[in-house]
């Protein structure tokens, strides 16, 4: 038993936090706060109120893949795992204990993993696990010193309605319709040109990169697009989805030339290689201020990830594209993080402030994407709430770390039309002097991130928030 927990039991510490949702983020936050002497009421609606994809009432149940992505230390996913290990994530520790062979990735026995996390939660003397549906966040906050909403992308309709009242209806999305994002250094600039519509084409003009199609290239692309394999859609993924945002393959099914008069329209563009308007053109918009990654404008899609990689590499200039994020279209309740959340993931709407207790969001409902990202957000919120309950403030997370970069991106008011994002090198701050070799550059990102993480961990220790964590398992990397 850790010293903070012993101290809390001895002195009868009365501070309490209500956490809504016992998924990856909520379970991590609950365990971390309880280990810091905070009483936690963890409320999970399952199994009394089921979802369309969960099959148990366990905490931290994985409903899609059982893979937590790469463990390579010089990958963005590997950087994130180093943070989880160094900062004492309990769910990451359980994932390592219940890992199954998956090459260079970390994959888990999903049943054993969920049961192990549930056992930890149920055994903790400062956690009260309650199985009931939260329909009113104002009521959920009553009697608590802080509220954490970690309900996940499949929050119930009643809970989503309550959150929309706190956040503002215009700042809550119920479907995730995101176009793919590709890494800038994987594009073939000999085939692309920079120009905004109706502007003169020039090397330094325009806000968009353009991928011009010849008629033959367009015909081949559309044929493959309409024949590509789509994600198998459940009812919750199709209901009302396509009324708001048509996937590019559905547009193409309406007519071979339909994309050419919509997303791929060439109007106002001149290909400098030919001096003429191309037959069709895809526009790519910079995803960050550094131009490290580009969004495929208007390419919301329901294709499987392998098919996106295959078909979208038929676009001129994208033959070797590396994807920082694949396109997705599914049920996904999340807030407009850049307008609502600060870097502690605290909800800063007038309605939330009037609640009288701090309200934090964690997990995918906060606008991040990915299993490890959800776990890390729960850990991050736990540090923030633990500090707040002491009348202090957690240290700022450096942007050079994987989650620090994601947090900066997700809470930057300059980010428009926000869609959930996972950690990737495209959102990390670039080096002043460009490192041309990709492998060397990624290794340098990891080294810089490790140094920033060490400094952050020291600040946590100085403020009494440090975890009891082991080091990064170099041998297993």
Mean pLDDT of 384-391: 96
Would you say 24 is a known binding-site residue? yes
> Of 340, 19, 338, 359, which Cα lies nearest the Cα of 168?
340
SS3 197: coil
Integer angstrom CA distances of residue 393 from 343, 363, 397, 460: 11, 21, 12, 10
- Strand-pairing partners, residue 335, are 172
d(CA 16, CA 380): 18
Share of the chain above pLDDT 70, in %: 88
d(CA 96, CA 94): 5
For residue 82, is pLDDT > 60?
yes
| pLDDT digits 0-9 by tens, 251-291 | 999 999 999 998 999 999 999 999 999 999 999 988 776 78
What the block records as the tokens of 444 is 């340098």
> SS in 3 state form for 17-36?
EEEECCCHHHHHHHHHHHHC
CATH number of 180-235+243-326: 2.40.30.260
Would you say 25 is a known binding-site residue? yes
d(CA 226, CA 103): 33
Give the model's confidence band at 313: pLDDT under 50 very low, under 70 low, under 90 confident, else very high.
very high
DSSP state string for 230-288: BPPPPHHHHTTHHHH---HHHHHHT-TTTGGGTTT--TT--BTTTTB--SEEEEEEESS
d(CA 118, CA 163): 26
Q: Are 29 and 379 in contact (CB under 8 A)?
A: yes
> Of 178, 105, 164, 106, which Cα lies nearest the Cα of 136?
164
CB atoms within 10 A of CB 159: 24
d(CA 383, CA 464): 10
Reported as half-sphere exposure (CB side, CA atoms, 13 A), residue 372 has a value of 29
Residue environment code for 287-301, b if the CB has 16+ CB neighbours within 10 A, otherwise e:
bbeeebbbbbebbbb
Q: What is the pLDDT of residue 331?
A: 67
Integer angstrom CA distances of residue 358 from 19, 44, 379: 12, 20, 16
Give residue 330's Cα distance to chain centre: 14
In terms of Cβ atoms closer than 10 Å to its own Cβ (0-12, 13-18, 19+), residue 324 is buried
Q: Are 385 and 146 in contact (CB under 8 A)?
A: yes
**φ, ψ for residue 266, nearest 5 deg:** -95, 5
Among 3.50.40.10, 3.40.50.620, 3.40.50.1470, 3.50.50.60, what is the CATH number of 16-177+332-463? 3.50.50.60
Indicate the pTM of the whole model: 0.74
Q: What is the pLDDT of residue 205?
A: 62
Q: What is the pLDDT of residue 330?
A: 65
Q: What is the pLDDT of residue 2?
A: 52
Mean pLDDT of 103-113: 86
Q: Are 68 and 105 in contact (CB under 8 A)?
A: yes
> Of 368, 385, 364, 471, which Cα lies nearest the Cα of 421?
368
d(CA 127, CA 132): 15
Would you say 426 is a known binding-site residue? no
Q: Are 23 and 42 in contact (CB under 8 A)?
A: no
Contacting residues for 100 by C-beta, under 8 A, at least 6 apart: 66, 107, 108, 109
Integer angstrom CA distances of residue 399 from 115, 366, 423, 469: 34, 18, 12, 22
> Of 357, 283, 295, which Cα lies nearest the Cα of 325?
295
Q: What is the pLDDT of residue 468?
A: 60
Mean pLDDT of 232-258: 70
| pLDDT digits 0-9 by tens, 453-475 | 999 999 999 999 987 633 344 32
DSSP state string for 367-401: TB-SHHHHHHHHHHHHHHHHHHHTT--PPPPPTTS
| pLDDT digits 0-9 by tens, 148-204 | 999 987 888 899 899 999 988 777 766 656 789 999 999 999 999 999 887 655 544
Q: Hunting for tokens 């606008």 — which residue is that?
A: 367
Domain borders along the chain are 16-177+332-463, 180-235+243-326
Q: Are 35 and 28 in contact (CB under 8 A)?
A: no
Would you say 179 is a known binding-site residue? no
């Amino acid at each position: 038993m850790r010293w903070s927990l012993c101290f809390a039991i001895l002195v009868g510490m009365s501070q309490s936090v209500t956490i809504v949702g016992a998924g990856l983020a909520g379970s991590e936050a609950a365990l971390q706060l309880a280990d810091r002497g905070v009483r936690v009421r963890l409320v999970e609606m399952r199994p009394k109120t089921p979802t369309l994809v969960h099959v148990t009432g366990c905490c931290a149940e994985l409903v899609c893949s059982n893979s937590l992505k790469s463990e390579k230390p010089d990958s963005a996913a590997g950087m994130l795992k180093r943070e989880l290990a160094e900062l004492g994530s309990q769910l990451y520790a359980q994932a390592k204990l219940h890992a199954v062979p998956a090459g260079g990735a970390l994959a888990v026995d999903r049943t054993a993993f969920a049961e192990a996390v549930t056992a930890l939660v149920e055994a903790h003397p400062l956690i009260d696990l309650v199985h009931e549906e939260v329909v009113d966040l104002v009521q959920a906050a009553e009697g608590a010193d802080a509220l954490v909403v970690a309900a996940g992308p499949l929050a119930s309709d009643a809970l989503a309605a309550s959150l929309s009242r706190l956040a503002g209806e215009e700042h809550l999305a119920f479907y995730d319709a995101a176009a793919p994002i590709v890494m800038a250094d994987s594009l073939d600039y000999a085939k692309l040109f920079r120009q905004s519509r109706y502007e003169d084409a020039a090397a330094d003009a325009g806000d968009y990169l353009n991928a011009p199609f010849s008629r033959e290239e367009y015909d081949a692309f559309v044929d493959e697009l309409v024949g590509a394999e789509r994600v198998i859609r459940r009812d919750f993924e199709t209901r009302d989805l396509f009324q708001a945002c048509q996937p590019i393959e559905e547009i193409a099914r309406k007519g071979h030339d339909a994309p050419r008069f919509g997303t791929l329209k060439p109007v106002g563009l001149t290909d400098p290689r030919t001096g003429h308007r191309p037959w069709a053109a895809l526009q790519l918009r910079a995803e960050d201020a550094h131009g490290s990654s580009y969004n495929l404008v208007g390419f919301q899609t329901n294709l499987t990830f392998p098919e996106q990689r295959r078909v979208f590499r038929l676009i001129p200039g994208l033959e070797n594209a590396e994807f920082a994020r694949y396109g997705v279209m599914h049920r996904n309740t999340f807030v407009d993080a850049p307008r609502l959340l600060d870097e502690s993931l605290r909800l800063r709407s007038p309605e939330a402030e009037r609640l009288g207790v701090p309200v934090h969001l964690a997990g995918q409902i906060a606008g991040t994407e990915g299993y490890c990202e959800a776990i890390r957000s729960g850990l991050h919120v736990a540090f923030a709430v633990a500090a707040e309950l002491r009348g202090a403030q957690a240290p700022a997370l450096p942007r050079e770390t994987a989650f620090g970069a994601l947090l900066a991106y997700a809470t930057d008011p300059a980010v428009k039309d926000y869609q959930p994002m996972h950690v990737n090198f495209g959102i990390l701050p670039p080096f002043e002097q460009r490192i041309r070799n990709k492998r060397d550059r990624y290794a340098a990102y990891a080294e810089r991130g490790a140094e920033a993480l060490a400094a952050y961990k020291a600040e946590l220790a100085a403020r009494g928030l440090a975890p009891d964590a082991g080091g990064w398992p170099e041998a297993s990397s």
